[in-house]
Amino acid sequence: MTLPLTAVRLSYATTHSAEAGGNAEQISAVQLVLGGVPDATVGTVSTGGWVLLELGQTETVVAVSGCAGGYVEQLVLHTSGGRRLAAPLTRGSLCTAPFLEVAPQGGYMVGVQVRTGGR
């Protein structure tokens, strides 16, 4: 039995960035919540804890956008209900390179793969 995605938890870490001229935030850990049950954490949870992006009972994720540089800096879930779920932007928020992945018309996202490196 496959459980539905009901939420995504993000943990943000603040780092010092000479390029940004001070402190910058980046996502340090991600945890999916499937059927209300938290799945395994990927990454390292920061001392700042979690930001919860919670889907409505009938909502699905139809697009994912955000910003990435050396790490994922921002993540936005676009839902079938027309909502955009994201952590609040702060002075430390960066946007090195924006990205957008959209499901086909009438579909929904079943996975997003992230990789690092130039190729």
Identity of the amino acid at 43: G
How many CB atoms are located within 10 Å of the residue 55 CB? 20
Matching CATH number, 5-102, of 2.160.20.10, 2.60.40.10, 2.100.10.30, 3.40.710.10 = 2.100.10.30
Q: In what order do the strands lie in the sheet with 97-102?
A: 84-86, 72-79, 61-68, 97-102
Identity of the amino acid at 1: M
pLDDT at 116 over 60: no
pLDDT digits (tens, 9 = 90+) for 5-62: 999 999 988 776 666 566 777 888 899 999 999 999 988 898 888 999 999 999 999 9
pLDDT at 87: 85
pTM (2 d.p.) = 0.80
Contact call for residues 43 and 50 (beta carbons, < 8 A): no
The C-alpha angle with vertex 70 and arms to 68 and 53, in degrees rounded to 5, equals 40
pLDDT at 23: 73
Q: Are strands 22-34 and 37-43 parallel, antiparallel or unpaired?
A: antiparallel
What is the CB-side half-sphere exposure of residue 87 using CA atoms within 13 A? 27
How many CB atoms are located within 10 Å of the residue 23 CB? 12
CA–CA distance, 119 with 59 (Å, rounded to integer): 34
Nearest to 6 by CA among 99, 74, 85: 85
Question: What percent of the chain has a predicted confidence (pLDDT) above 70?
Answer: 87
pLDDT at 112: 64
